[in-house]
Structures are given as structure tokens and as C-alpha cells.
Structure 1
């Protein structure tokens, strides 16, 4: 299994144009709820779900209590939990008194251990994808132009995937799939496979070719 990522343009810090650099960002496959996480741990670690759930709740309660009392908590290879504060009243004078009411809790921080980071790095396998939520540049080509590019691609290749068509045309994932399915309905393409293994191949006898016979 792989973790999917996509590339995004990094905004220029001074707001000027020019060549933009790219940065990689994970495209999450799913968000696990507490129940789903407990079920996964129970399945793969062979432990009772009720014990895992109760232990997790107890750990969260104790962690909250220790952090609220100004402690730092280490949870094994995971790392260190700590808290940060903020002052609601600004001042640059150390002698000026700031009342305790003006000092408030701000956030909880987790400093991941080097061992935990190393375990993730060793286990992670990355695969490029196209995020469905990523904003794409406005496509200026027409459907006819994109169809010509598609036919040229299929003359050199047996089939085309959704990701390849996105790269070929610059369309968003949703728009690319809609257009490919439209070509299938027109009899230009045939769909093979299901889900992520779906590919599109050229229909041997398209309506245009039939009209020439």
C-alpha cells in the first residue's frame, strides 16, 4: 500500500510573480474515527476491543489532567506532550505587571520522537496522484483539441488511465472522468477494469470510422 501525494505551487513570499516552486502534500485516503481505530488495533494486535477502548479513554483522561497541571508527558516512542500559553494583554515592559487573568491556555503540542519518525519514514511508500480538492488552472483547450490529443496518445499506447488523461489535458479529476465517460457513451472509447484499475482503450470502430465505410 502507498500514501498518495500531490504537488502544489508554493506562494511567493514577496507576492511577486516568476517561476514558482512546488511542494508535496499528502492526500488523505480517509479519517479514522475512534471506533474504527479501536477495531483496527483489536484486529491486528489481537486484543479485546472493550479493553482497548477503555484503556484509550483512561489514557486521554490522565493525559488531560497531567497537562492541565503543568506537566510534560512522554508516551513512549510517540513523543512528548506539552502545553503553551498566550498573553491577552500586550506589553514590552517586563516591569509592568500582567494579571493572571490575562494569561490563558493556548494549545497542546506534541514533539514526535526521532524513533517514531524513523518508523513512519521506513514504512511509508509514496505514490503520486491528483487531489480531487486541488484547484487547477483554467483549461483553455476545447474538447475537440483534447480528443485529438487523446487519439494521438492511444496511437502510441495501448490504453490511458484517468491520471494520464488529467496530465494530458490539465482538467480536474472530476472533469476528466466526466469527459472520458462521455467519450465512452459516444463510442470513441471502451472502459476496462474497475475502481483504481480502470483504463480506457480506443474503440476499434468509432462512429466516424463507420461513416467512412
Structure 2
């Protein structure tokens, strides 16, 4: 079975007039949730679903325990888990910041070489992503789509906004910032968990 991909421009906000290089991005086939994944592993290996679920929970608990004590943890042939931190604000001198101002940024997973190599070679096939529109909307239409989506769903992500309107990442960032300044929406969360709510 093929892995489908499409080509996108990443875009540089400082050089929006210039032609930008294209980047390949996988078009997701869907999401396999935890319950379905456990069911498939059970069918493939003969272990009971309860056993697999218990093992996964035990691994998760131990992983959380050792990560929270600053260890890097290798999990089988999958890879190494580790933590990364962030400062609340830019810091130029060590004396400018104290521990309470430093927070968890994310949990990193560095995939083992053997695991990565087992995925090669991929059977790749290009297709137009169904998650983006070929007809970009104008700014008024983008605002209408945004408000309608928030009214129906309660919030919107930048990715959702891009998918709904067919606009680029940089244009989405620019418009969302503009809507915040206008008091139409407010930003909630951080990193990859940012959502936009009605102001």
C-alpha cells in the first residue's frame, strides 16, 4: 500500500514576494486510536487485549516516572524518550532567570536507526491533498469561515483554518494575528496545542 504525499510551500515571512521551495508532506490515511491498535496487535500476535493494554499502561507509567527524574529512557527498538525545557522569556544572562521561570517544553522521541530503516523503502505516490482547497478564499470569506467554525465547534486550530480556507501557513498566521488584534478571537494554549476561541 502506498504512502500518499503532496507538495507544499513552507514560506518565509521575510521573503513572501519570492518563490519558495516545495516540501513533501504525508497525507494521513487516518488515525488508529489506542483501542483499535491494541485489537490489531492482539490479532497479529496472539496476546490477549487485556495483557497488551496492561503492558502499555505499565510502560507508560514507568516512562513518566523516569522522565520526571531527568533520565533519558530507551524503549525497545522504538527509540529514546527525553525531555526538553523552555524559558518564559528570552534570556541573555544566567542570573536573569530562576527555576520557577523554566517549564517543560515537550517530550522528545529520537527514533532508533533500526526502526527507521525498517520503514524503508516507502512506496510513495503523489496526490492532491483533500485537506486543502484549490480555490483560496479572500480575507472576508476567511473571516466568515473562521467565525462559523468556532460557533459550531467551539474553537479552531491553525491547521483547521488552513484546511477550511485553502490558504498558506504564513497567510493563516498573519490573519489569525490580525483577528486577535481586532478582538474577534483569543489564543489559548501553547506550542502544538494552540487553539483559537471566540474573544
Q: Secondary structure at the match of 1:121?
A: coil
**Counterpart in 2 of 1:75?**
75
Matches within 5 A, 1:8-47: 8-12=8-12, 14-47=14-47
- The residue that corresponds to 1:111 in the other structure is 110
More RCO (CA 8 Å, sep 6+) = 2
Deviation string, structure 1 residues 115-172 (Cα, Å, up to 9, x no partner): 11111123x211122211123246xxxxxxxxxxxxxxxxxxxxxxxxxxxxxxxxxx
Query: 2-side partners of 1:43 and 1:134: how far apart?
Result: 36
Shift of 1:23: 1.6
* 1:66-91 Cα distance to aligned partner (Å, 9 max, x none): 10111110012211100011222543
Q: Is 1:53 matched with 2:72?
A: no
Rate the CA distance shift 1:22–1:103 in 2: closer, same or farther, 3 A. Answer: closer
Indicate how the Cα distance of structure 1 residues 125 and 137 shifts in structure 2: closer, same or farther if over 3 A, else same: same
Match of 2:127 in 1: 129
| Residues 1-213 of structure 1 aligned to structure 2 (within 5 Å) | 1-12=1-12, 14-88=14-88, 90-94=90-94, 96=95, 98-122=97-121, 124-137=122-135
Structure 1 counterpart SS, 2:37: helix
Shift of 1:16: 3.9
CA distance in 2, matches of 1:2, 1:69: 41
Matches of 2:90 and 2:9, distance apart in 1: 36
CA distance in 1, matches of 2:90, 2:11: 31
Task: Give me the whole-angstrom Cα distance separating, in 2, the residues matched to 1:39 and 1:24.
Answer: 32
Cα distance change, pair 51–104 in 1 and its aligned pair in 2 (3 A): same
Shift of 1:97: 5.9
Normalising by structure 2, what TM-score?
0.62
Equivalent-residue separation in structure 2 for 1:53 and 1:83 (angstroms):
25
Separation in 1, partners of 2:14, 2:87: 30
SS at match of 1:130: coil
Give 3-state SS (helix, strand or coil) of 1:80's partner: strand
C-alpha displacement of 1:13: 5.6
The normalised TM-score by structure 1 is 0.58
C-alpha RMSD of matched pairs (Å): 2.1
Per the TM alignment, residue 29 of structure 1 is displaced from its structure 2 partner at its CA by 0.9
Structure 1 portions without partners, runs of 5+: 139-213
Q: Within 2, Cα distance between the matches of 1:24 and 1:91?
A: 35
Structure 1 Cα separation of the partners of residues 98 and 16 of structure 2: 44
* Structure 2 alignment gaps of length 5 or more: 137-199
Larger Rg: 1
Looking at structure 1, the residues matched to 88 and 68 of structure 2 have their Cα atoms a distance apart, in angstroms, of 19
